[in-house]
Amino acid sequence: MKQVDRRVTNKVDSVVDALQKGKVIANASSWKNGQITVNILSGFLAALLAVGSNFGLQLNLTEEETTMIAGIIVSLMGAYNTGVTLISSEKVGTKN
């Protein structure tokens, strides 16, 4: 059990280190490509839902539920984009 705890601690330490300014993960380009892909797919999904409603796509959600879901998605995308930007760039990050 202590060996598993040590592995988890090492991974958390690696993430915290990568968030610091001047540090960068080894495969930064892969993370940047993933970030671009996620942004494109989320925009495509939003456009698909917007256009789909014009063609009769019904989701049976109230306006409040739709707004809540959209807010959650925007919040998650913001956190994801911020995290990927911090770990894949040497020029930005948290203070050491």
**Chain mean pLDDT for the chain:** 78
Instruction: Please check the confidence at residue 52 and state whether its pLDDT lies above 60.
Output: yes
Instruction: Please check the confidence at residue 94 and state whether its pLDDT lies above 70.
Output: no
Instruction: Please check the confidence at residue 59 and state whether its pLDDT lies above 60.
Output: yes
Query: 91 — phi, psi (to 5°)?
Result: -85, -20
Question: What are the CA-CA distances from residue 33 to residues 6, 37, 72, 93 (Å)?
Answer: 30, 6, 23, 19
pLDDT in tens, 71-88: 888 899 889 888 888 878
Distance from C-alpha of 33 to C-alpha of 61, rounded to nearest angstrom: 33
**The pLDDT value given to residue 4:** 63
pTM of the model: 0.62
